[in-house]
Amino acid sequence: MKNVFLTLTLSCVALPFLASGSAFAASDLPPPRDPSPLAVDDLPPPRHTKPIAADPATPQTSTTDDLPPPSLRSRRTARGFQPVFKAGVDDLLLETGALPDAVEADMYSSLRTSAYVLWQPSRNWEFRAGARLDGMAQDGGRADHSELLADYSDTYVRYRIENTRLTLGAQTIIWGRADEIPLADRVSRIDLTRFSLDDLADRRRAQLAARWEQSFGNYKLDAVWLPVFRGAQLPDVASIWSPVNRTTGQIIGIDPALTPWVSQARIDEDEHGSGGGAIRLTKTGDPFDFGVTLARTRQSLPYYRVDLPTATLTAVHPFNTFAGADIELVTGGLTWRMEAGYTSDVPVTLANTVMDSTQSLDWIGAVEFFPGGRDTRVNLQLVAHALQTDRNILELKEYYGANGEIETTFSQGRWKAAMRFASGFNVRDIYLSPKLSYTGWEPHELYVAAHYFDGEARTLGGFHQDHALITLGLRTRF
Amino acid sequence: MAHPRSWLHCAFLLLLALLLAPPPAFADDASTLAKKVFDRPNGRDFTTLGRMVLTEKGRAPRIREIVSYRLDKSGGETANMIRFLDPEDIAGTGLLSIDQADGSTDQWLYLPALDRVRRISGDRKGGRFVGSDLYFEDLQERKPSKDRHRILGKQAENGILCDVLESIPVDSGESVYKKRISWIDPATYIVQRVDYFEQDNRTPSKRWLLRGKKRNQGYWTLTDSRMIDLASGHETRLVIDVALYDQKLPAKLFTSQALADESLESEYRP
């Protein structure tokens, strides 16, 4: 009983202190802020829209009680459709680099620029015209070369109504979910002029296509027909990035011991006919995004058919059928992406140099995350490629590897550091590309980058192992 | 009839409970204040055209122009879309966020170069939004129930005697901040200042200050604010040039189709 009264006494002492929350917390109040004057309003007016004066500004000290009732006359509305006319340079790349190991050249420089005009006179119609110019120069070795190439970029007529979008003309269409080599990417035209130095979007070009996009709810149906086939944009055979290296006598993907005659070979191109068609259905929304793709198309990447008697290499693009599925979901801060596909009629070369075909199974699994939820992005992709044949062929029958990118920003986003990488598991095949960019001079990007290749015969890293490159570049748009 | 000792025992337990539990009336006041701030009228939908200004001493400011849309859907779901209009290197990039009623967030990023909509993790709370001093967490609506609230007292801020509210995450792993202290105008429930504590509970790392507000269509709009990195002095200023409320924004504006087709979205710009 005595103990109870002692507790009660203590409680009574404590009660007044608890009763007043303010009194209890007063010592926890942070010190008053230094009332340093805020900077004067020196912002220039916005570029895109003139600021519309809102209702007369109300002083900070006003309360809801002294506010006038909302005025219908002061109500603003969305602008609705407005005709659009835009023109600009949507890409400019100037880059120069050193090739410390190459026998073909010591220096390699690139120029790439594209300009466009876009006109949207009504809600339904849109017209775009674009052109690009690509230049390269390599010198200081056994294969000095320079060239300038003009081409169209996205140039199309587009019609929209409700949930339908129809586009006819030259378009760049990149399907798939993976970053480096998406399996569903069956209707784009590849640009090999700079091999893999650039990101995926810059390794693709526009090609003539008719496209029908139909949305219904969270689903989208995308159908593409390629009426006129155009193969990949290849670098000149003298370029260090050519898939046929006359200086060293190699064809990419083929054991160099079998191709010493390539230096003198004639190279032909077979680009007749249409490119085929493809259809893709995607769904976006809870609980995950997915897509299925069916394609009967010719791949823009060439396959070199060998004709030994005439020492001729012919770049062919046979039709093949692709069926694939892909999925994308987020769990616990990780974004998972996966693609799987079956391809028929994949060209291969038998040991006797006769061209044959087989099927392939491909799989890509990717995970993207931001360690600690901060500013570093890691994208890691595992790839598997298996040709379904028991015959003796010159290509690798299976390839397993990893690729991806780690990038981070610092100094309030003014600097960016990145590392792209690729590596084979069952064969030695390495690509490393560190890059440091200054992006504080918006919208321009100044960068230094390096590209390192190494690998066994028949791998991409092995084919370009003497083409390590250190570059200094400027990229912008305006 | 109850035994006198039982009665005394009950009184003792009651007082003990009073002592050990947080003061209920005070905690309720704090939670109520946090809820009133969260529930401040903001329209069924909200469209803004504004600028984000990134400032560092001795360097030219970097300005991003942004259009944003918000729609409160039924069932406590909120949809947000942001698109950059300038500078050219990020123009057209869009971000679609769906804040689910359960507190989770689905996000998709549209990259114009690839013409591709990518699902991204909404848990990147401490990542800087386009290099600014705003973290992704600062852009997400934070439900009052995610924090424990306490009123610290009253203090003047922006010339207003504000209620000072401390908010500490219930789940410490769920926020990049250890705590936040907010200065709230008790008349309008508009936050005038927020101090963010990341490393420890004593020294704030960031400070958000309201600089201007205007009344639009009967709703208060925070037209000018700034987030200051207190260690480096970096500032990110957010200016809203135009604000529109209750435009009857359609749900189809908050889909991957509209995210990927700027033409569909641009009709709803101010």
pLDDT at B214: 93
Contact at 8 Å (CB) between B83 and B64?
A: no
Confidence of residue A40 (pLDDT cuts 50, 70, 90): very low
For the cut 70, the answer to whether the pLDDT of residue A57 exceeds it is no
Radius of gyration of chain B (CA): 22
pLDDT at A11: 36
3 state SS of B192: strand
Identify all chain A residues contacting B86, using CB atoms and an 8 Å cutoff.
47-48
Confidence of residue A262 (pLDDT cuts 50, 70, 90): confident
For the cut 70, the answer to whether the pLDDT of residue A15 exceeds it is no
pLDDT at A31: 81
Confidence of residue B142 (pLDDT cuts 50, 70, 90): confident
Contact at 8 Å (CB) between B132 and B225?
A: no
pLDDT in tens, B40-99: 999 999 999 999 999 988 888 999 999 999 999 888 889 999 999 999 889 999 999 998
Average pLDDT (B210-224) is 94
Residue B213 falls in which region: left (phi positive, over 0), alpha (psi -120 to 50) or beta: beta
Measured CA to CA, the distance from residue B249 to residue B6 in angstroms comes to 63
Measured CA to CA, the distance from residue A233 to residue A231 in angstroms comes to 6
Select from A43, A60, A64 the Cβ nearest to the Cβ of B159: A60
Contact at 8 Å (CB) between B75 and B101?
A: yes
Alpha-carbon separation of residue B139 from A291, B125, B135, B173 (angstroms): 30, 9, 7, 18
Q: Which one has a higher pLDDT value, A131 or A266? A: A131
For the cut 60, the answer to whether the pLDDT of residue A66 exceeds it is no
Measured CA to CA, the distance from residue A316 to residue B232 in angstroms comes to 59
Contact at 8 Å (CB) between A136 and A102?
A: no
Angle of helix B4-20 versus helix A2-19 axis, rounded to 10: 40
**Chain A to chain B, count of Cβ pairs less than 8 Å apart?**
253
pLDDT at A12: 36
**E-strand stretches of B175-254:** 179-184, 191-197, 206-216, 219-229, 235-245
Chain B residue closest in CA terms to A164: B257
Give how far the C-alpha of residue A241 lies from the chain's centroid of Cα atoms, to the nearest Å.
Answer: 20
Asked, as a colleague might, if the bond just before B144 is cis with ω within 30 of 0, I would say no
Walk me through the domains of chain B, giving residue ranges and CATH numbers: 33-266 (2.50.20.10)
For the cut 70, the answer to whether the pLDDT of residue B39 exceeds it is yes
pLDDT in tens, A358-402: 999 999 999 999 998 889 999 999 999 999 999 999 899 999 999
Walk me through the domains of chain A, giving residue ranges and CATH numbers: 89-476 (2.40.160)
Give residue A267's identity as a one-letter amino acid code: I
Select from A21, A370, A478 the Cβ nearest to the Cβ of B88: A478
Measured CA to CA, the distance from residue B187 to residue A156 in angstroms comes to 56
Select from B62, B241, B247 the Cβ nearest to the Cβ of A49: B241
Decide if A58 and B215 are in contact by the 8 Å CB cutoff: yes
* H-assigned helices in chain B: 4-20, 24-38, 136-139, 256-260, 262-266
B36: which 2 tokens? 């009133």
Measured CA to CA, the distance from residue A339 to residue B110 in angstroms comes to 20
pLDDT at A219: 95
For the cut 50, the answer to whether the pLDDT of residue B199 exceeds it is yes
Count CB atoms within 10 A of the CB of residue B219. 17
3 state SS of B50: strand
Question: Which range, A51-60, A146-155, A246-255, has the best average confidence (pLDDT)?
Answer: A146-155
Question: Which range, A32-46, B5-19, B237-251, has the best average confidence (pLDDT)?
Answer: B237-251
Angle, alpha carbons A35-A37-A39 (nearest 5°) = 145
A15: which 2 tokens? 């009660």
For the cut 90, the answer to whether the pLDDT of residue B36 exceeds it is yes
Alpha-carbon separation of residue A290 from A43, A175, A218 (angstroms): 44, 12, 11
- ipTM of the complex model: 0.84
For the cut 70, the answer to whether the pLDDT of residue B20 exceeds it is no
- Tell how strand A312-316 and strand A266-269 pair up: parallel
Flag whether the pTM goes above 0.90: no
What is the DSSP code (8-state) at residue B203?
S
pLDDT at A382: 98
Give how far the C-alpha of residue A69 lies from the chain's centroid of Cα atoms, to the nearest Å.
Answer: 51
For the cut 50, the answer to whether the pLDDT of residue A17 exceeds it is no
pLDDT in tens, A288-327: 999 999 999 999 999 999 888 888 889 999 999 999 999 9
Decide if B261 and A165 are in contact by the 8 Å CB cutoff: yes
pLDDT at A406: 98
Closest CA to A387 of A353, A342, A431, A354: A342
> In sequence order, what are the beta bridge partners of A251?
A244
Select from B49, B211, B243 the Cβ nearest to the Cβ of A38: B211
Measured CA to CA, the distance from residue A354 to residue A319 in angstroms comes to 18
For the cut 50, the answer to whether the pLDDT of residue A56 exceeds it is no
Contact at 8 Å (CB) between A129 and A117?
A: yes
B93: which 2 tokens? 């990039």
Identify all chain B residues contacting A52, using CB atoms and an 8 Å cutoff.
241-242, 270
The alpha carbon of residue B171 is apart from the nearest alpha carbon of chain A, in Å, by 15
pLDDT in tens, B219-246: 999 999 999 999 999 999 999 999 999 9
Contact at 8 Å (CB) between A460 and A442?
A: no
DSSP string, A333-365: TEEEEEEEEEEEEEEEEBTTS-EEEEEEEEEEE
pLDDT at A42: 59
Identify all chain A residues contacting B106, using CB atoms and an 8 Å cutoff.
285-286, 330
Decide if B214 and A201 are in contact by the 8 Å CB cutoff: no
Q: Which one has a higher pLDDT value, B100 or B53? A: B53
For the cut 90, the answer to whether the pLDDT of residue A222 exceeds it is yes
For the cut 70, the answer to whether the pLDDT of residue A408 exceeds it is yes
